[in-house]
Every structure is written in C-alpha cells, then in structure tokens.
Amino acid sequence: MFRKLTYTTCGSACPTKCNDPDAFMPCILMCMPGGCYCMGDHALTENGKCILKAGCPESRPKRIAVGELNPVIVCNTNENWDSLGNDCERT
C-alpha cells in the first residue's frame, strides 16, 4: 500500500530512496529545507510514492553460499559484476 509524503519544515539530509544504494546507511542528523519526505520505515520510489523499505527492489546482487558452484549474479541496470567478487559497480 502506498503512503503519502509528509511535509516537514526540517527534512532529512539523506532522504531514503529505493533506487539509492546508500539509502539505508546511517546519516548525519542535519536539518534540511522544508519539503515532502517519506517518514519512518518508508522510502521514496522512482515514481514519487512512499512504500515500506522492505518493498524496495534489492540494490545489491544476491549473495551466494560459500562453496556454491557457478553462481548466477544479477546486477541492476547500468551495473557490472567484477570477477574479483566485488559488488556490482555502476558504469
């Protein structure tokens, strides 16, 4: 279910967005200009809707089990897997 954006006079310096790989990292507490933000456990989609963070598509490749043979790694659009086992890098 979509949630509405909430207007606040003190916005986050790091608003949570589904398509941002760093969106779920800790953020500095800093008041930004007022505006509409997704609140609590919600994140902004590319379509401008607030959805539960758990509903965001994965922004990293799926991890493989140790010893699994011939893993299939799926990267997001405009990302490439490097054979050294690093996360998908943007291109």
In this prediction, residue 1 carries a pLDDT of 45
- Answer for the pair 53, 41: CB distance below 8 angstroms, yes or no: yes
Cα–Cα distance for residue pair 80/91, rounded to 1 Å:
7
Span 27-49, pLDDT tens digits: 778 888 888 888 888 888 888 88
Span 53-88, pLDDT tens digits: 888 876 555 555 555 555 566 677 777 666 665 555
Place of tokens 């659009």: 77
Report all structural domains of the chain as residue ranges with CATH numbers, in order of start.
1-56 (2.10.25.10), 60-91 (no CATH)
